[in-house]
């Protein structure tokens, strides 16, 4: 091959490579109150440059499947069965109530996770017992069985014609493409130190009667976090609810080399000091997004100085910490740098 042809191919390859790297992943928190980070906020949408859209922990800060902010959802992931994540409650209306006490109504018996997976024909990617529980509820909404997702080679290829289950165990990976010609996004369930008991209101009557006398709960498998490797190279570690654990270093930093972290604060699991240690020492991402704060963390989109969220952000060093402001889309490049909206 002649030198100028080789050089042309090389230039073309470099251009293709750098443009894919330069396209950002769009991250949009769906909280209870527009522009704020509030008490019940958990839900986050991740949009890959290929158009693949992933909903993480639908929770209680959406109105359900009819929430206009959802749009197309290709994949639903869920860290554990607790009500504030699976969505045993939902917003009565967007911006209803106050930031520290949003106005919610019951989402039983289905949950927001189920409603959305059923309405959006999403691939349900989560640990087996949790996926089976959601799958059965999707079945009751649609009146037909929820099948395992079909694959083309190793990949699930969107858009899907029906909701489906793509189960994993802790450590398991699924790859999903927005279309047959897209690159795949890799989604892996990773360990969390927490539990995964399901709200009693989401169970059938027979089971409720059986469990209530002893005040015991059903556990739907282990809790998890996720690592998502997007097609621009961004590798996001979503902690789920968790205490500190050594896997943050050996799994998320050393092996996956996560360069962005979405961290769940939460009073019962992580102090601001412990959360900052996870970021600064264990995971060392390029940036961290703060969610699950269980307080009205912001007013007018600014972190309120007396909050635990403010204490955490002050303790984060050597990298930016961004509050997950509802409806505000942040764009991240492949290296974990926020390039717009932060
Ligand atoms: Zn929890
Ligand atoms: Zn929680």
pLDDT in tens, 40-65: 999 999 999 999 999 999 999 999 99
The domain segmentation of the chain, as residue ranges, is: 24-340
Measured between alpha carbons, how far is 245 from 224 in angstroms, rounded to an integer?
12
Please report the pLDDT score of residue 14 as a whole number: 46
In angstroms, what is the span from residue 81 Cα to ligand 2's centroid?
A: 9
Query: How close is the Cα of 7 to the center of ligand 2, in Å?
Result: 53
Distance 82 CA to ligand 1 centre (A): 5
Instruction: For the domain covering 24-340, report its CATH number.
Output: 3.60.15.10
Report residue 282 CA to chain centroid gap.
Answer: 20
Nearest ligand for residue 198 CA: 1
Tell me how far apart the alpha carbons of residues 87 and 89 are, in angstroms, rounded to a whole number: 5
Supply the pLDDT for residue 80: 98
Distance 53 CA to ligand 1 centre (A): 24
- The predicted structure's pLDDT at residue 19: 56
Which residues sit opposite 69 in a β-bridge? none
pLDDT of residue 15: 45
Q: Distance from the CA of 134 to the center of ligand 2, in angstroms?
A: 18
42: left (phi over 0), alpha (psi -120 to 50) or beta: alpha
Position 44 scores a pLDDT of: 98
What residues of the chain score a pLDDT lower than 50?
1, 10-18
Q: How far is CA 224 from CA 1, 141, 241, 247, in A?
A: 51, 26, 8, 12
pLDDT of residue 100: 97
């Amino acid at each position: 091959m002649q030198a100028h042809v080789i050089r042309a191919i090389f230039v073309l390859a470099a251009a293709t490579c750098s443009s894919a790297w330069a396209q950002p992943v769009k991250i949009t928190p769906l909280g209870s109150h527009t522009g704020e980070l509030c008490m019940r906020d958990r839900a986050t949408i991740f949009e890959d440059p290929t158009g693949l859209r992933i909903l993480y922990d639908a929770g209680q800060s959406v109105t359900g499947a009819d929430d206009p902010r959802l749009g197309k959802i290709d994949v639903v992931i869920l860290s554990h069965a607790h009500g504030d994540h699976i969505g045993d409650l939902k917003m009565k209306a967007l911006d209803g109530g106050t930031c520290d006490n949003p106005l919610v109504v019951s989402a039983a018996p289905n949950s927001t996770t189920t409603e959305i997976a059923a309405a959006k024909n999403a691939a349900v990617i989560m640990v087996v017992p949790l996926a089976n529980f959601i799958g059965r509820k999707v079945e009751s909404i649609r009146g037909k069985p929820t099948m395992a997702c079909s694959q083309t080679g190793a990949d699930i290829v969107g858009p899907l014609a029906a909701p489906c289950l793509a189960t994993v165990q802790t450590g398991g990976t699924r790859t999903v493409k927005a279309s047959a010609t897209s690159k795949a996004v890799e989604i892996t369930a990773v360990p969390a130190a927490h539990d995964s008991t399901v709200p009693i209101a989401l169970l059938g009557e027979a089971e409720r009667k059986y469990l209530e006398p002893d005040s015991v709960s059903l556990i739907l498998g282990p809790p998890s976090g996720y690592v998502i490797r997007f097609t621009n190279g961004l590798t996001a570690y979503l902690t789920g609810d968790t205490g500190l654990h050594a896997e943050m270093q050996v799994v998320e930093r050393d092996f996956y080399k996560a360069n962005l972290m979405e961290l769940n604060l939460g009073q019962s699991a992580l102090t601001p000091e412990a959360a900052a240690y996870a970021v600064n020492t264990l995971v060392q991402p390029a940036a961290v997004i703060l969610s699950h704060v269980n307080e009205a963390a912001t007013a007018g989109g600014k972190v309120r100085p007396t909050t635990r969220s403010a204490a955490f952000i002050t303790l984060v060093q050597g990298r930016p910490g961004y509050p997950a402001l509802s409806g505000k889309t942040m764009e991240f490049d492949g290296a974990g740098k926020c390039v717009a909206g932060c």
